[in-house]
Structure 1
């Protein structure tokens, strides 16, 4: 864990622990000790204690008072809820993005896809995931629907933890690329209904891989 600055210590402690749990730097099944975590982050125990409680509200940990904090990580219910939110909001964002994406923006999306294809040959799953995120983020932000974008951005850490599970599998990564190309084609045509339909289908396909995600997120043995 990296040391935190004095600025917004409470928020930083929560954000850092949340990030580490969702990225699996801290894995499901691990036990966190308040004093040890505080020392590793370079803060007092109070912001760590508050962070634990906020993480418990998100369902990411379970607190056993005066003993330890058990990391639960991402659950099946969490995955389904995130996919439900995305399936409702992202197609609508894509629909509205058609009115705002310039030809240069669409060319940039095409460039992201081509770079992703090159990375497929290298087997660089981490970089593929980053470009995948950039593809979706570019479309979402072009919608100019600030509240929807804010909700989707707030879930980004969760989405990343899901996405790596299938991007790291070549056959699923290739499927994602193929579907991105279909979305790009619809964007070039400025066909708002088709864009919305294809983004909906793309997200439905992602939700099919819940078992794959859960397999990668199994708790470590006690």
Structure 2
């Protein structure tokens, strides 16, 4: 792990450990020793302890007092909950974005779709993820709904970790690009009802999303144990 060098030590420790769990640098079943982690990050044990308690509240770890902290990682329930929240909030954010998106931002969204098409053949997952993420973030931020933006930002690391499984499957990528085009057309027409419907449709595949994420997690665990 990289050493922490920012002013907000507590928040930085929390974000770093959370990120390491979500990108599977720390895997389910791994044991975290408070003192060892503090040494790796170059901080005292206090911010590490606080970070682990926050992560336990999120369900990502399980603390065994005076022993160790067990990594639980992403569960089926976690995936369902994250996508249920997105399914409620992102269509609403997109509806409000209609009033605020500039012509330049609309042009940018169209360019992002074109980039997705370019990176889909051959399947460049890393670039697809960055472009896909930027598409969603541009719309969410344009809503100007500060509290909803904050809630969705808080789940961002989860969404990115799930998205890798989705973007690594060409059939799902093609579907995503098609649906992004539908969202863009509705935004360009300034049609709030159509925008909300298009984003809702894009996020409907929660069960399918969950299936591919869990499939990849299980494959990774099997490979680790071989």
2:84 paired residue number: 84
Report deviation, 1:180: 0.3
Report deviation, 1:122: 3.3
Tell me if the contact between 1:98 and 1:191 (Cα under 8 Å) persists in the aligned partners: yes
Greater shift in the superposed pair: 44-53 or 134-143: 44-53
- The TM-score normalised by the length of structure 2 is 0.93
Query: What secondary structure, in the 3-state scheme, does the structure 2 residue paired with 1:204 have?
Result: coil
2:75 paired residue number: 75
Alpha-carbon distance between aligned partners in 2 of 1:27 and 1:120, rounded to the nearest angstrom? 29
1:127 paired residue number: 127
Alpha-carbon distance between aligned partners in 1 of 2:125 and 2:62, rounded to the nearest angstrom? 31
Tell me if the contact between 2:13 and 2:48 (Cα under 8 Å) persists in the aligned partners: yes
Report deviation, 1:124: 1.5
Tell me if the contact between 2:6 and 2:12 (Cα under 8 Å) persists in the aligned partners: no
Q: 1:162 to 1:200 in 2, by over 3 A?
A: same
Greater shift in the superposed pair: 144-153 or 200-209: 200-209
Greater shift in the superposed pair: 2-11 or 167-176: 2-11
Alpha-carbon distance between aligned partners in 2 of 1:161 and 1:207, rounded to the nearest angstrom? 16
Give the 4+ runs in structure 1 shifted more than 6 A.
none
1:175 paired residue number: 175
Report deviation, 1:6: 6.1
Alpha-carbon distance between aligned partners in 1 of 2:188 and 2:7, rounded to the nearest angstrom? 45
CA deviations on 1:27-73 (whole Å, 9 max, x unpaired) are 22211111221111011222212211111111000112222211111
Alpha-carbon distance between aligned partners in 2 of 1:63 and 1:184, rounded to the nearest angstrom? 45
Alpha-carbon distance between aligned partners in 2 of 1:179 and 1:6, rounded to the nearest angstrom? 39
Tell me if the contact between 2:112 and 2:131 (Cα under 8 Å) persists in the aligned partners: yes
Query: What secondary structure, in the 3-state scheme, does the structure 2 residue paired with 1:185 have?
Result: helix
Query: What secondary structure, in the 3-state scheme, does the structure 1 residue paired with 2:63 have?
Result: strand
Tell me if the contact between 1:29 and 1:221 (Cα under 8 Å) persists in the aligned partners: no
